[in-house]
Structure 1
Amino acid sequence: MNPTVSYRPRHDQALVERLWNFANVLRDGGTSGLEYIEQLSSLIVLKRAYEQHQRPLNWQHVLGFDAWPRLTSAKRDHLITVYEQILDELASRPGTLGLLFRRAQNRIPDPALLHRLIVDVVDRYQWSAGDTGVVIEELLARMSTDTKTGAGQYFTPRPLIEAIVECVQPGIDDTVTDPACGTGGFLIKAFDYLVDHFPSGVTAAQRQRLNEGAFFGTELVDATARLATTNLVLHGVTRVDEAHPCITVGDALARPPVRRATLVLTNPPFGRRSTSEEPYREDFWTATTSRQLNFLQHVHSLLETDGRAAVVVPDSVLFEGGAGELIRRRLLAACDVHTLLRLPTGIFYAGGVKASVLFLDKPDPHPDGSPSTKRLWVYDLRSPHKAKSTALPGVDYAGFVSAYRPGRPRSERAETPLFRSFTVQDLLARSGVNLDLQVTEPSAEPFTLEEPEADLHRMAQEITSELSAALAEFAALTEALRPYGVHADGPDREAKR
């Protein structure tokens, strides 16, 4: 398919800088980057709803009341009370609107700063006219480097997402899902790709299906689910007044899926849970406390027959023994696991994390019982990039996309020094069905005394990243278990009034 130029306008970089500068002001007052963007997104939704109500043609009264004038006209001493009343009122609404404000709280305790954000920043722009979603994406990208709060765990680098989406090519007949959607990046980029490559001759029934639930996801943490929903609204993936939210708040692993998809795109969380916390699923091939292995099983159960998926996995999924070996055998048998992209170390928020992307299809089982996988192609994007303790912002995925040959038969692929193929017989013959496959030759550099120190340093980085991920998960669990209406630092707001 020939590349198509996007119709979407470029975002206002000056606006992004102003919004980010205000984030720095709030950070000094104890408001994190994630909390700021959540707060900003909620305010933008309120302002956009007001703008839609004021336009002379095709006006909409989404909220049922003009929340924005109430905020801008409130006296500063009463501003926080007025704002929290609005949040409470909207949280009780059904559908997407209720999800947008589910358990939402004011995170800016200084009324003067809240007033500045409302009157001097948000109120000065027409958010219905510009590409607001891209502005929020830019802020999220900057926020993802905030390792102190673990915010980056919800943010997959957008260049990686764009490369994956370009490879799988979402179409008008697809139903797209992300069972660990974070801020909604995969769903947004899949939607953007579909819009930019929208074919002619689409029927009314196809349009209706695309408008009513063709994109959906699951997110465990309330605050992140709110942010994802807002992000999807601002990008046009869904509407504020949609009766059925496209994001479900909950644990995607807790039960078998009630709805399947033709395309699964996801970067699930890494790590483990205790046996008591991990749900038992009869539709899984085996029980394990590894979340990433369970998500891989969940992705298989989510896929329709003839569906396809791209899943970001830690390298441990490729070689872990026990349940890992069994799951890899079952996956090679049940799916056509056709491509593995080995990612550079350090592209995620936690330095030292080694991860890869598995691309697979789910065909009908072969009548003779032979494996669905015939040949696995492995692209090494790791060796050309030296590992760093911080994220690598400039990774170029063009070589991988070109080698992948989107939309073309895989028989047309050609091996290169970075791209090799392995038959399924080769894979099954490897000890433990180890898929941690090397493409490039090991380094021929002579041994030096510094190598053990470098290895220890990388091991320390990996341990640090695991601990950071564990702390972030504890924070997410704390947020999920917090009673409705209770602030993180004190009694509920009703008791304060």
Structure 2
Amino acid sequence: MSTTETRRLVAQLWNYCDVLRDDGVSTIDYVEQLTYLLFLKMAHERASRRFNADDSLASVAARWQALVDAEAAKLEELYRRTLEDLGRAPGTLGIIFRKAQNRIQDPAKLKRLIVDLIDKENWSSQGADVKGDAYEELLAKGAEDVKTGAGQYFTPRALISAMVDCIQPGPNDTIADPACGTGGFLLAAHEYIVERYGSLLTPEQRDRLNSGAISGTELVDGTARLAAMNMLVHGIGKPNGASLIDVRDGLAEAPARHYSVVLANPPFGKKSSITVIGENGRADREAISYTRNDFWTTTTNKQINFVQHIASMLAIPGRAAVVLPDNVLFEGGAGETVRDRLLKQFDVHTMLRLPTGIFYAGGVKANVLFFDKKEARPGRPWTETLWVYDFRIGQHFTLKQNPLRREHLDDFVKCYRPGEPRSTRVETERFRPFSYDELIARDKVNLDISWLKDPALEDADSLLPPEVIAQEIVEDLEAALSEFAAIAEALQQSRSKTSGS
């Protein structure tokens, strides 16, 4: 991997963003336009190779050449028609260009982006690592654009890496993310398998790994296109093949297939524009209706529904690692029901309590829950011991000055002991076991467990810098406001139902 080459590519493409921002093109819009144009350029390169040219991409490749040759005055109209035409195509091509629109209204600037910046690079000659890392860095920069809210679709890569290291996906696994965002979990799982098994992979396993063993679902068109492109530049899937990203509401229906590994960071937020009818027969009604008889209980809380959905997605045997906000751990009603069922029917064995300051969505207090699905054993709960690692207390991160890095999670992964029997785990100051009986006896099966005290609160000499304290206060207030908003929404829904009955 050439770090220097990656940085050069990113710098070259990113410098132009400042020019376009004056025309009202947001950071994420710029990344989206780059996605369209890079796809066309790479298709042109593949179709124009001296050896092993991909003739199936010839028609797409011709569109790139037409854009390069067009006069600036006619370029905007030609580009708009190109996006519309390709948006009607099937497979990966249609996913990337679905509902695509031109956001660069100045023909001269669009011409410069196409001819001077993108056409002069040969992306196909770059290794998958170089162009993949460059695209990932562009996505990370897009996530920093707080005005667009793009950060909610981007999970910190250091956290993803640690989760994948613990789950240890293999070449025979089927891997899914039901809310895949820009595809970070899917790429990390693919990279883990390729790096760990390498030459041991059979041709069949390699083909399967790149054409269906790894897949994702994403509701938002713009984010799905970024995920699809992210997969392609990392060498996963084919430009003219079936899409590995399914664009739809992941919660809308019961899973059509089951997966041995699920990795996910479902979208935060209480509101969900759906009607859910669970096995209890009750319905929480909103604008869009669907029935999920495979759900244990009824709620419009998206995260709790995603827990139920992931539980339903898992094959036997299957394993999952899911990022969940604190409210899923302590909320009563449906939350209590789901936690109770999960502890009984699944082996909920590990939880990582995350610090604030690592997500682009401010004020988020979250955790990673690891659980396995196994053959039913009537009369006995599957969860015997939940090991909790508290990485929240005493940890202080920010997105820019002190971002989370993979080495910060080394101790957790060491305590997790990937691939080893959980009987070999050792209790530490941050890592403690809790028996099933202890968990089920807690009020409302509350899994929001903490035992450490922040040393900064105990020792006046170790007080944090004022800016860190101020940021933590802001994040706590944002989290509290989010929870109050959820309560207010639930009360409003309850009042509406009462009035309508």
User: Normalized against structure 2, the TM-score is what?
Assistant: 0.86
Report how far residue 23 of structure 1 moved.
Answer: 1.4
CA gap of 1:175–1:18, structure 2 versus 1, over 3 A, is same
| 1:94-493 superposed matches below 5 A | 94-130=90-126, 131-198=130-197, 200-242=199-241, 244-272=242-270, 273=272, 275-277=285-287, 279-367=290-378, 369-386=379-396, 392-395=402-405, 396-441=408-453, 445=458, 457-463=474-480
Report how far residue 55 of structure 1 moved.
Answer: 1.4
What's the secondary structure of 2:192's corresponding residue? Answer: helix
Gaps of 5+ in 1: 1-7, 470-497
How many Å separate the matches in 2 of 1:433 and 1:390?
37
- Residue by residue over 1:423-448, the C-alpha shift from the partner in whole angstroms, topping out at 9 and shown as x without a partner, is 11110011111101114246562899
Identity of aligned residues (%): 50
> Which residue of structure 1 lines up, in the alignment, with residue 499 of structure 2?
none
Structure with bigger helix share is 2
- Residue by residue over 1:199-258, the C-alpha shift from the partner in whole angstroms, topping out at 9 and shown as x without a partner, is 55544543443233101111101111111111111111111121x211111101111011
Report how far residue 457 of structure 1 moved.
Answer: 4.6
Report how far residue 401 of structure 1 moved.
Answer: 1.2
* Alignment check: 8 A CA contact 1:83 1:106 kept: yes
* Alignment check: 8 A CA contact 1:346 1:390 kept: no
What's the secondary structure of 1:63's corresponding residue? Answer: helix
CA gap of 1:9–1:113, structure 2 versus 1, over 3 A, is same
How many Å separate the matches in 2 of 1:427 and 1:199?
41
How many Å separate the matches in 1 of 2:411 and 2:94?
43
Code of the residue aligned with 2:371 in structure 1: it is L
How many Å separate the matches in 2 of 1:324 and 1:58?
55
> Which residue of structure 2 lines up, in the alignment, with residue 488 of structure 1?
none
What's the secondary structure of 2:311's corresponding residue? Answer: helix
Code of the residue aligned with 2:115 in structure 1: it is V
275-284 or 203-212, which deviates more:
203-212
What's the secondary structure of 2:57's corresponding residue? Answer: coil
- Residue by residue over 1:392-421, the C-alpha shift from the partner in whole angstroms, topping out at 9 and shown as x without a partner, is 513411111111111111111111111111
What's the secondary structure of 2:115's corresponding residue? Answer: helix
How many Å separate the matches in 2 of 1:219 and 1:56?
37
| 1:9-158 superposed matches below 5 A | 9-10=2-3, 11-65=5-59, 66-130=62-126, 131-158=130-157
How many Å separate the matches in 2 of 1:197 and 1:305?
24
CA gap of 1:442–1:127, structure 2 versus 1, over 3 A, is closer
* Alignment check: 8 A CA contact 2:358 2:403 kept: yes
Code of the residue aligned with 1:382 in structure 2: it is R
What's the secondary structure of 1:87's corresponding residue? Answer: helix
CA gap of 1:59–1:468, structure 2 versus 1, over 3 A, is farther
- Residue by residue over 1:429-481, the C-alpha shift from the partner in whole angstroms, topping out at 9 and shown as x without a partner, is 11111101114246562899x9x999975542225667999xxxxxxxxxxxx
CA gap of 1:351–1:389, structure 2 versus 1, over 3 A, is farther
How many Å separate the matches in 1 of 2:438 and 2:400?
35
Code of the residue aligned with 1:299 in structure 2: it is I
How many Å separate the matches in 1 of 2:137 and 2:200?
34
How many Å separate the matches in 1 of 2:484 and 2:225?
26
* Alignment check: 8 A CA contact 1:378 1:439 kept: no
CA gap of 1:464–1:389, structure 2 versus 1, over 3 A, is farther
How many Å separate the matches in 2 of 1:411 and 1:219?
37
User: Normalized against structure 1, the TM-score is what?
Assistant: 0.87
* Alignment check: 8 A CA contact 2:360 2:399 kept: no
- Residue by residue over 1:343-392, the C-alpha shift from the partner in whole angstroms, topping out at 9 and shown as x without a partner, is 1112111222100000111011114x211111111111111313669785
Q: What is the aligned length?
A: 458
* Alignment check: 8 A CA contact 2:358 2:404 kept: no
* Alignment check: 8 A CA contact 1:48 1:127 kept: yes
CA gap of 1:30–1:174, structure 2 versus 1, over 3 A, is same
How many Å separate the matches in 1 of 2:39 and 2:52?
18
What's the secondary structure of 2:223's corresponding residue? Answer: helix
What's the secondary structure of 1:397's corresponding residue? Answer: helix
268-277 or 300-309, which deviates more:
268-277
CA gap of 1:201–1:13, structure 2 versus 1, over 3 A, is closer
Report how far residue 334 of structure 1 moved.
Answer: 1.1
CA gap of 1:455–1:113, structure 2 versus 1, over 3 A, is closer
CA gap of 1:433–1:109, structure 2 versus 1, over 3 A, is same
* Alignment check: 8 A CA contact 1:49 1:62 kept: no
CA gap of 1:468–1:149, structure 2 versus 1, over 3 A, is farther
Code of the residue aligned with 1:400 in structure 2: it is F
* Alignment check: 8 A CA contact 1:174 1:214 kept: yes
Code of the residue aligned with 1:462 in structure 2: it is A
How many Å separate the matches in 2 of 1:389 and 1:84?
36
How many Å separate the matches in 1 of 2:165 and 2:146?
29
Q: Give the root-mean-square deviation of aligned CA atoms.
A: 2.5
How many Å separate the matches in 1 of 2:470 and 2:208?
56
CA gap of 1:388–1:209, structure 2 versus 1, over 3 A, is closer
Code of the residue aligned with 1:230 in structure 2: it is M
* Alignment check: 8 A CA contact 2:153 2:182 kept: yes
- Residue by residue over 1:86-125, the C-alpha shift from the partner in whole angstroms, topping out at 9 and shown as x without a partner, is 2222222221112221111111111111111101110111
How many Å separate the matches in 2 of 1:455 and 1:21?
33
- Residue by residue over 1:278-332, the C-alpha shift from the partner in whole angstroms, topping out at 9 and shown as x without a partner, is 6431100001010000000000001001110110000111111111001000001
How many Å separate the matches in 1 of 2:197 and 2:446?
40
